[in-house]
Chains A and B, each alone.
Chain A
Amino acid sequence: AARGEWCPACGMAALAPGTQRDVLLALAKQSILAKLRLPARPSSPQPPARGALLTALRRLRAQRSDTAASPGTLRDGPVPQLRPGMELQEYEILSFAESASSTSRSVCLHFRFSRELSGSTEVLQATLYLFWASPRPRAQPVTIRLLKPDPMGPNMTVASETRLEVQGSGWTTLDVGPAVRSLSGQETPRLTVELDVPEDWESPFPADHTDSHWPFVVAQARARTPHRVRRR
């Protein structure tokens, strides 16, 4: 390219939009496979059937409670029956932050949850974990806003706002149970968190790529109990 003209790296802009998209998708596939040292995408995995998994978990739990009740006893033979109430499946849902947009004072985090959250699952509690790498030892104010989609339009509205005093470096937690519960019914449950941070602070998205400090949400959930109908 002659001086003052387009850099060759910008050549992609000259491609037709459809072609450009195909090139980028092919490039994305190729680069991910190369970085994972895979010659081709793995064939469809064969995860254990959901029913088999639930049965195995129930057996494990039943075995544990049985062992706790009579220590030193080894059981062999049929799996013990579950006690009343044990049939409810409880588990944890983890969601790590993604696609953050940020300015020097504000950071936006998105937490995506599986569609299962919207239907068959009841969220018992949920906690947001944020790591701060504060350059100052004294407490600094941080504002955390939980946003929800506005039913009247494409914008987001503030569901709740919390102001924290963050002391130095370390993890802070915030109860986001009501916000995660309110995602029930959404087709693609997504929690949006907006943070206002002091200007000289590092974003909670670690610049040194320390993944162990990545923001996340933990939700304790359990399968919803089916409605019971009693005939009199």
Chain B
Amino acid sequence: GVDCGGDSRMCCRQEFFVDFKEIGWEDWIIQPAGYHMNYCTGLCPLHMAGIPGLAASFHTAVLNRIKAASAAAAVDSCCVPTQRRPLSLLYYDRDSNIVKTDIPDMIVDSCGCT
């Protein structure tokens, strides 16, 4: 996978960090301090298409929603997550219990063209 940067407009992974303090969630999420909500962006010309690895996930749901919103049906190859890992959270639930949970496929590690 390629990380975005410079002038290239090819498919890459854009890093995006959601700081829980910034959104006022630091009082109920104990760890981590934020969420690396990286996403995939960039062009996928035909010669870059064909990298497999797209499974059902939150990200595909987002992708499908955007696709549905698009007026055109015929599309080129798309820049999508090819490697993901879970987000581990330690937080207070509604009853102030401390809960540890892992949400699968929440962090995009690399991107590629479908």
Interface residues of A (CB under 8 A from B): 1-13, 24-25, 27-29, 31-32, 35-36, 38, 41-47, 96, 98-99, 112, 205, 209, 211, 214
Contacts and interface: CB of A to CB of B under 8 A. Distances in A.
B77 to A, nearest CB: 7
B70 A8 contact: yes
Interface residues of B, number: 50
Contacts of B39: 12, 24
Given A96-B88, A99-B36, A7 B76 contact: yes
A11 B62 CA distance: 12
Contacts of A47: 92, 96
B80 A9 contact: yes
Q: At the interface, is chain B mostly helix, strand, loop or mixed?
A: mixed
Contact of A96 (B16, B25, B31, B43): B31
Contact of B32 (A7, A8, A10, A98): A98
Tell which of A42, A98, A205, A211 has the most Cβ of chain B within 10 Å: A42
A7 B33 contact: no
A209 B104 contact: yes
Contact of B66 (A8, A98, A112): A8
A96 B52 CA distance: 31
Nearest to B17: A99
Contact of B62 (A4, A13, A27): A27
Nearest to A24: B16
Given A2-B72, A36-B101, A38-B94, A7 B28 contact: no
A120 B35 CA distance: 28
